[in-house]
Amino acid sequence: MNKQITPGTEQINRVFMRRVIILGVLIFLGLGGLIARYGFLQVYAHDRYRTQADNNRIKLISAPPSRGYIYDRNGILLADNQPVFTAMISADAIEDPERVLNLLAPIFDLSDDDIKDILARLAKSKNDPVTVKIDLTETQLAQFSERKPFFPGVTIESKLTRSYPYDELFAHVIGYVGRINDKETKRIDKDRYAGTDLIGKIGIEDHYEDILLGQPGYQSVETDAHGNIIRQLETKPPVAGNDITLSLDYGLQTVAQQQLDGRRGAIVAIDPMTGDVLAFVSNPSYDPNPFISGISFKDYGALRDDLDQPLYNRALQGMYPPGSTIKPFEGLGGIHYGLRDWNTTIYDPGYFSLPGDSHRFRDWKKGGHGTVDLKKSVVMSVDTYYYKLAYEMGIQRLHDWMVKFGFGEPTGIDLPNEKAGIMPSPQWKKETYDKGWLPGETISVSIGQGYFLATPLQIANATAMTANQGNHITPHLLKSSEGAAAVKVITKPDGKIDYNGKPSDWLRMHDAMENVVKAGTGRGIYTDRYRIAGKTGTAQVKSIAQGKSYNKAALDKRHWDHAWFNGFAPVENPEIALAVLVENGGGGSAVAAPIGRALFDYWILQRKEDPILPPTPDQLKIIKHHKALEKARLDAIRDAQAKEEEAALALKEQQAAEASSAANTASPAT
């Protein structure tokens, strides 16, 4: 029996078949689209998407180089590299960096300014990790470890950072490194500083930045979806920065700082035969270590506002009237121009007046020194001799001669920001003050006063060139360098002072300066154990009216004269030339000369037999602990004083307000 198909069933079958066909077409089109897309991705866009995939899977990690070490001439380590824990943040792993940094702030002690700085660096980082905090404490590490799951994209890495074991002893010469700022970011080669946060800011660290830095390397690593490293693919090792050895001597530097302890001043010592700088001290000094990771605003403010200016490099940048220290150089200028010889004499009545002028430029000795030749003028530091000499020489010739000794221009030492001092001339005054030169100004300049200003470094360098009989030297701190970078090292004089006199004149000036110490203004430091040549100087700070005498007791201590001493030893074969400045120290003979003698004694008598050595690591820890306690004590005193001042000011304002209120409410008199 045949089954009969009803019209309704046939219609249903047709609808079903149409749907099957439509669905099949859609499936076919979908598969075709998938195949086409697959072909597009695999063929046409293969390179682009492979790169993106690799970027998600493969990371290039910068490998910063080890910064070069810095040593003194005896191999004592002055600038070290220490491993520290550093917090890093990666912008590509964080949706809201500002929120994360605000949460990290109490853990890492971040200020609002710190957060702004980190965000600015993240914006320019191109997904490279950015440093959040250097040198984390154990407490900070523990607090972060407890909360680590809440901070994806924030990691703790072990990095090398700078350390200066002897704190303030070498601060003004070695300087320090610090975090790269926005201004530096614009000028540096970013590839060379990949993975590096620190850059030399001042001193040797700045001047030799290029060779100390080294060359960065990299590591190519494969990571999982969470950023964890699975395996290392490729490595290019970094090239360490050059190690450099300085000409400085730890022992002599220590003696110099000890001699200036409690006094503002500077000492520079130079080897006259090579130009090696043996000691370079500015006092007071400061600890450079806090600047590495970022000194607090409070601590920096205390240094900046300190009346004694510990951040000020007096040896390099301090410009002072040189006083009588210049007389040996000036005296040789008289011979150079044919105005004097060793037998020429003048009569010193105790004063000098310009022709046609009644004003008396007085000698330091009332009544004068009588008949004076060049040797006596140096031994007894006779002002009148140099008044007359400078008047005959004229300011222009005096300027031209003193420039030969390095006055009025930088010495060229391998330190940044050296001041040139002032060796005045008519042209200089015209350019500076738009006024003509006056004859009386030449007289002031002749004894290292008036417009004449020099740095302690310039005085030491001029003294060294006198000691080596007129050979020109450029003072330098670099003694040697080891590493991949080629470095030019100075080892000898680089010229000769153009001098019209006899070669023996230099030796006769040595004899005159030796007699300063034997029988003249520096006789208080004489010793028969070796021969010292020297010159004392006292530079006036506050001018004294005509006819008045200097009354030290009536002056504020910061208006006392500056004390100078410059000299060299041993006379027959100079090994060390130096300049000592004590700000507002009073007399050069009584204050500065004994300091010079202490340095000579160490260098000539003690250095080889019993050198001063640095403390052991354990001793260093104790010293640093005591310094930390002392700093905490001084901080507490400063905080208490600040609170007292605030309270006193608040009370004063309250009393003023109450007085004003009482006056306003009082009834008028009838």
Distance CA 133, CA 109 (A): 9
Residue 572's contacts (CB-CB under 8 Å, 6 or more residues apart) are 531
Distance CA 540, CA 555 (A): 12
**Active-site residue, selected from the candidate residues 324, 425, 481, 589:** 324
Beta carbons of 584 and 263 less than 8 angstroms apart: no
* Residue 581 Cα to chain centre, angstroms: 20
Q: Can you give the C-alpha Rg of the chain in angstroms? A: 37
Beta-strand ranges (E) seen in 110-262 are 130-133, 154-163, 176-179, 198-202, 217-223, 229-236, 243-246
For 434, the enclosing helix (H) or strand (E) is: none
Beta carbons of 252 and 611 less than 8 angstroms apart: no
CA dist list (Å): 189 to 247, 356, 415: 30, 65, 22
Residue 121's contacts (CB-CB under 8 Å, 6 or more residues apart) are 130, 131
381 is catalytic: no
Burial annotation 62-96 (CB, 10 A radius, 16+ → b, else e): bebbebbbbbbbeebbbbebeebbbbbbbbebbee
Burial class for 24, CB neighbours closer than 10 Å (0-12, 13-18, 19+): exposed
Strands 70-71 and 130-133 turn out to be unpaired
Distance CA 214, CA 189 (A): 12
Measured torsion, CA atoms of residues 70, 72, 77, 80, in degrees rounded to the nearest 10:
-20
Distance CA 276, CA 466 (A): 15
CA dist list (Å): 576 to 414, 568, 569: 19, 6, 6
Q: Which residues are catalytic?
A: 324
